[in-house]
Each structure stands twice: as structure tokens, then as C-alpha cells.
Amino acid sequence: MAYTPGCSADVFISYAHADKDWAVRAKERLADTLTSYLTRRVQVWFDTRLPVGEPFLREIREKLETTPVLVAFVSPSYVQSEFCIRQELEWFRSRGGQHVVQLVMVPLDRDLEVPAPELQYETLYDEQGKLLTGARLNKKLDPVALAIANRLRACRDERPKIYVAQVTNEALRDSWDRLKEGLHEAGYVVFPAQVLPRGFPDRRIQDWLEQCCLSVHLSGLQDDSLAARQREIASRTTRPLKTLERAPRGEEVRDVIAEIQAALRAPRRSALYFVYDDYADGPRVSDLSRQIRLRTGLEVLPPEPSPKCHKERLEKSSGILLFRAEAPETWRVAQEEKLRQCLALRGDRDVPVAWYHARPANGSPAAVHVDRTSPREWVIERTGDVDVGDLEPFLEALPR
């Protein structure tokens, strides 16, 4: 089971089969390091078979669809592999995959280049061009693994959260655990992530419940003060409760999850999808999302690293804001193309969209130019620090 809810794997390894022996060892090293940074085992996946036939390609794409991070082991064999470049790296990015890590194993000849030169990459060879080993390799991989772990943690934090009240009756534990696993596979973060000891503070339980969109409880439990206490605390929050008469068995788990999803699909407030390159522009816009939320009362969704979820948010959000400052121009072009494709397929064509581009002042006076290119589309050019006031016409057009 992946660390990231709703994903078949957390990290997809893209490599050339000529580098298979080294890739196998590096995969295990990366998985162990990532797991040491996070709260559960991380799923690092790659296929050791030669790419043959449509079923193989279909399996690869199914993995890429629901994997938030792609790690490319770059070598001369890799950059000359049609399958690695076209069917893995480019396909991942074309579906909205935003987090690619390139690890260059050996120096490339002058007539070769890393597959995505506009993205950051790390070299894994020494001054003589030999592949690093032992402690020197670990020193290089550790910061890479930490960056991936932080990205997976952020991806997990963005998932919807369900509180499943803990029970002390051991006879119910297996059924209850299967429900938690099913919710995780369906894309939900399950709270609490730890065993609640006796005397655990009510305040902390309430904090978790407030973060969740719904809580699930069992009724009719005798002599289970912990279960009763969690339900009583949940009743004091504004979040909906779902109470089950008994723990689900077998196929009933799927039915309960379907009922929970139906409850969560009930009408909710409009959402703005705020798309930006987290690596290049995350710090620059860290406060802008909060200001938009305060000004409009809308739910502001951050960038989604999973290609499948990214596409869903583009298709379903009631407004879209695309921001670029330091991100590469190629990133902007790719995002705009995907956005326009999604808008063209929507039944409700009248979706407010803003393209917000900020440039450093570099001694020039701060300035902003707003151009309304269509009744529901704005292009905003800013020189100097970003300002939520620049977005006023766009924000006014968003449905509440």
C-alpha cells in the first residue's frame, strides 16, 4: 500500500534496461531512505521486464496515472531510449505530472543532453566520471530523498481526510482495519494515525476531527469509553458523522466507502484551483492562497502532483488561477495547453480563468497591467511583489 492515499505507488523509477543492475540496488536504497523520513513504508516501483506489447504499455500508464513522483536514472542508454523518453517521462508530464527527479549516472557526451534540461538534476558520478558508491553515493541521495519525502508529505496533506474512530474491542479490529485500508486506497487520509491511549486529550481529538470532512463511528459498543468519547467530541464539531451499527464485513467495506463518498459529494462551496510550480514559485505565493481564501471565502486548492487528480481539478473547479514567476516558460506552455484542453471538454464553458505572471522589479517601479481577453478570462502582468488586489476583477467573477 502506497504512502500517498489513492496512489498505486509513490515513486515511479524510469530507467534504461542496460542500467538494470544498478537501478535495482538504487531503488531499494531510495525506498529505505524515504521510509525513514515518513510514517510508513513508501512504494517505489519499477518494472524489470523488457517493454513488449500493448498490455505492458497499459500497465505502465496505469502506474504513471496515479504516481506523484517520477525519478529518471539518466544515462546514455536512457536518453536514447524511445520507450523511456516517449512512453514514460513525456507521457507522465503530458498528464500533469509535475514532480520529476533526474539523477545523471555518468557524464553525457557533448551531443547528448538530460531529457528535461529546464528542470533541476543531480549528478551521481565523481571527478573521473565514475558512478559513486558507498558513503559518497549516500551523501548525494539523502537530500534527493528528503525532497521527495517532503513532496509526498505535501501530496498526502492535500488529500481529503476521514476520521475513523478507534475501538478497543479486538474482535472488531480486523474489520475496522480493512475499512481504513479501503478508504486509504480510495484516496483519503485516515485519522488518527496513532493508537489513542487512555487519557488522550479531548482537544487533540477535536483538532483532528475539525481537519476531517467526515467521521465514522460504531454504535452499540458496550464498555468502550474511548469510542463513546470520540463520538461525543465529534458531535460538538461542524463536521458530519456517519454511524455504523456494526463493523463492515467483506464486500460491505466497498458499500460503506460508496456511502461515504456519496455523502461527501453533497453540494459544497465553490473551489478555486491555484496552479503554480511548487519548486520554483511555492515560496513566492505562500501567502497569496491565504489572502484569496480570506477575501472570497472560497476553498483554494493547491497544485495536485498526481496527474490524474490534477486533470480532475482542472475539469471540475469553478475557477482556475495559473501563476508563473520563476517557473520555466516550457512549464507555462505545457500547463496552458492542458488547461485549454480540459476547458474545451467541459460542458460548462463559462469558467473564470486568470493567467498571472509576475516579474521581479529589478529597480523598476512596481506596476500591474490587467487585460481581459474574453468575458471570463484575464491576463495579469505584474512587475514587483505579487498583490491579491491584482486579481480583483477575476475574483469578483468567481461563483460563490
List, for residues 280-310, the tens digit of each pLDDT value: 898 888 889 889 988 888 878 888 776 766 7
The closest of 42, 98, 95 to 68, measured between CA atoms, is 98
Residue-wise pLDDT tens digits, 35-82: 899 978 899 998 877 666 678 888 888 889 889 999 999 999 999 999
Count of Cβ atoms closer than 10 Å to residue 298 Cβ:
19
Dihedral sign from CA coordinates of 339, 340, 346, 349: positive
From CA 87, how far away is CA 77, in angstroms rounded?
A: 15
Domains of the chain from N-terminus onward: 11-157 (3.40.50.10140), 161-264 (3.40.50.10140), 271-397 (3.40.50)
Say whether the peptide bond before residue 192 is cis (omega within 30 degrees of 0).
yes
Residue-wise pLDDT tens digits, 333-359: 888 888 888 878 776 567 899 999 999
**pLDDT confidence of 267, banded at 50, 70, 90?**
low
Q: Mean pLDDT of all residues in the chain?
A: 88
The closest of 144, 148, 72 to 115, measured between CA atoms, is 72
pLDDT exceeds 90 at position 391: yes
Percent of the chain clearing pLDDT 70 (strictly above): 96
What's the distance, CA 185 to chain centroid?
A: 14
Tell me the pTM.
0.66
From CA 296, how far away is CA 354, in angstroms rounded?
A: 15
Residue-wise pLDDT tens digits, 162-178: 999 999 988 888 999 99
- Under 8 Å between Cβ of 130 and 149: no
Residue entry with cell 558512478: 131
Count of Cβ atoms closer than 10 Å to residue 1 Cβ:
12
From CA 342, how far away is CA 357, in angstroms rounded?
A: 21
C-alpha pair distances (Å), 187 with each of 4, 66, 154, 176, 268 = 8, 10, 14, 17, 19
